[in-house]
């Protein structure tokens, strides 16, 4: 019996060391480029599991052998920056029914082409007007949308509706993709109630299989103060129905799990590499801004990734600053995927942040009130 306890203790210790090593390795994503360190980058997706296991070992050793609890404790301390990027610890509430007179209200949302094609396929009712109603009710000053769909039929124009009916007279649309058959356009877009004085657009390098939209910016004059707004939609993993089935195979540990895993890893590796270079481009543009700025959009990457840390730099994370929890923004695959962000520069004070849960897109919208300091 004593020998069994000794064996169990040693095995638990070895497992704790292994989990601690993988946890610290996943924390290295903050500075390891995914094109060269793709395997380490993949660990970012397992960060929540590794974190839970470490905390479990910490509690276990406190009751069994307190000195071994130091292994998990030290790992957690070293990885605190990653933990804080993953989990918001601010339980402060929010009240978006009221807006401070000095606040700038931002809304970002991957609208998935206004659910246009999903509802067609499933025969569901049209969600477009419901999405428009949700946007109208938020009293935002600046809207940033990804996967924005503009039909050729002018009577169904989303741009015209938002500009006229929702009263956003200023806009800049990237028009990244053009459908030659029905003359529709897709891309990222910025709407503003305040005058846009200048715009810019940077196309990401297009390779076979890429699906990233541009990064665009708009210089906006808000009550006499200039700010620069960026929005983008970085490279997607491009999961298809078969890939989601492969995820289920892995979850259920079916016989074809190895083949399914290879398919998933191959797509993740390609997307991680492309996003790494796109993050380099985005960071360069952010650092060159002469004005207080924020970037928002769909990064398609988790908070423990090179993409997140490299783009964020010394900027703030609106969700982490004012919310509690994980902040899942993508509704498929995993309950831990926060891949949509609002990252303001330090010249802004974050007043409040909220995630809008709505069943229309596969992403949740983010809403944030920012306040520009008086000396800007």
Domain locations along the chain: 2-86, 104-372
| Cα 288 off chain centre by | 23
Structure confidence at residue 183 (pLDDT): 83
Kindly report, residue by residue over 318-365, the tens digit of the pLDDT: 999 999 999 999 998 788 899 999 999 999 999 999 999 988 999 999
More confident residue, 179 or 116: 179
Are 286 and 293 in contact, with CB atoms under 8 Å apart?
A: yes
Kindly report, residue by residue over 129-157, the tens digit of the pLDDT: 999 999 999 999 999 999 999 998 888 89
CA gap 23, 17 in Å, rounded: 10
* DSSP per-residue letters across 105-169: EEEEEE-GGGGHHHHHHHTPPP-HHHHHHHHHTT--SEEEEEEEEE-S-GGG-HHHIIIIIS---
Per-residue DSSP letter, 19 = H
Q: Report the DSSP pairing between strands 293-298 and 348-356.
A: unpaired
Whole-number mean pLDDT of the chain?
Answer: 89
Confidence of residue 255 (pLDDT cuts 50, 70, 90): very low
Are 330 and 141 in contact, with CB atoms under 8 Å apart?
A: no
Kindly report, residue by residue over 291-328, the tens digit of the pLDDT: 999 999 999 999 999 999 999 999 999 999 999 999 99
Residue 371 parent element (H or E): strand 365-372
CA gap 233, 345 in Å, rounded: 19
CA gap 323, 319 in Å, rounded: 5
Structure confidence at residue 251 (pLDDT): 45
Write phi, then psi, for 318 (nearest 5 degrees).
Answer: -60, -35
Sign of the CA dihedral running 97, 101, 102, 107? positive
Kindly report, residue by residue over 3-28, the tens digit of the pLDDT: 777 888 899 999 999 999 999 999 99
End-to-end alpha-carbon separation of the chain, Å?
Answer: 71
Structure confidence at residue 265 (pLDDT): 73
Are 26 and 40 in contact, with CB atoms under 8 Å apart?
A: yes
Report in angstroms the alpha-carbon separations of 262 from 265, 268, 275: 5, 10, 20
CATH number, domain 104-372, options 3.30.450.20, 1.10.3720.10, 3.60.10.10, 3.90.1150.10: 3.60.10.10
Report in angstroms the alpha-carbon separations of 173 from 206, 218, 343, 367: 19, 10, 21, 20
DSSP tally for the chain: helices H, then strands E: 12, 14
Q: What is the dihedral of CA 52, 84, 17, 276, to 10 degrees?
A: 110
Confidence of residue 104 (pLDDT cuts 50, 70, 90): very high
Buried b (16+ CB within 10 A) or exposed e, 90-121: eeeeeebeebeeebbbbbbbbbbbbbbeeeee
CA gap 50, 82 in Å, rounded: 12
Confidence of residue 92 (pLDDT cuts 50, 70, 90): confident
Q: Report the DSSP pairing between strands 196-202 and 215-222.
A: antiparallel
Structure confidence at residue 48 (pLDDT): 96
pLDDT greater than 70 at residue 286: yes
């Amino acid at each position: 019996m004593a020998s069994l306890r000794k064996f169990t203790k040693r095995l638990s210790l070895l497992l704790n060391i292994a989990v601690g090593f993988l946890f610290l390795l996943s924390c290295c994503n903050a500075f390891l480029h995914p094109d060269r360190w793709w395997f380490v980058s993949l660990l970012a997706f397992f960060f929540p599991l590794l974190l839970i296991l470490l905390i479990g070992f910490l509690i276990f050793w406190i009751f069994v052998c307190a000195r071994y609890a130091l292994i998990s404790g030290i790992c957690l301390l070293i990885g605190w920056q990653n933990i804080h990027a993953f989990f918001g610890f601010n339980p402060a509430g929010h009240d978006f029914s009221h807006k401070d007179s000095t606040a700038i209200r931002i809304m970002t949302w991957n609208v998935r082409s206004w659910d246009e094609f999903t509802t067609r396929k499933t025969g569901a009712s049209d969600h477009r007007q419901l999405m428009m109603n949700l946007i109208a009710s938020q009293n935002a000053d600046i809207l940033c949308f990804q996967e924005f769909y503009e039909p050729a039929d002018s009577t169904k124009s989303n741009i015209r509706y938002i500009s006229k009916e929702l009263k956003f007279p200023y806009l800049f649309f990237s028009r990244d993709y053009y459908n030659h058959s029905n003359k529709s356009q897709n891309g990222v877009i910025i709407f503003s109630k305040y005058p846009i004085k200048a715009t810019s657009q940077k196309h990401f390098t297009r390779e076979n299989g890429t699906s990233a939209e541009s990064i665009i910016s708009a210089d906006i004059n808000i009550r006499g103060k200039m700010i620069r707004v960026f929005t983008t939609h970085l490279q997607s993993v491009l999961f298809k129905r078969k890939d989601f089935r492969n995820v289920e195979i892995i979850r259920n540990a079916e016989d074809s799990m190895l083949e399914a895993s290879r398919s998933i890893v191959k797509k993740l590796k390609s997307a991680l590499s492309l996003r790494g270079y796109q993050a380099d481009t985005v960071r360069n543009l952010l650092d060159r801004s002469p004005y207080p700025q924020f970037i928002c959009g769909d990064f398609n990457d988790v908070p423990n990734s090179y993409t997140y840390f490299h783009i964020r730099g010394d900027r703030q994370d609106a969700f982490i600053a004012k919310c509690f929890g994980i902040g899942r923004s993508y509704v498929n695959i995993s309950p831990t995927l926060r891949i949509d962000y609002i990252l303001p520069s330090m010249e802004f004070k974050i007043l409040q942040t909220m995630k809008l849960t709505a069943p229309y897109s596969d992403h949740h919208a983010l809403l944030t009130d920012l306040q520009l300091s008086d000396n800007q």
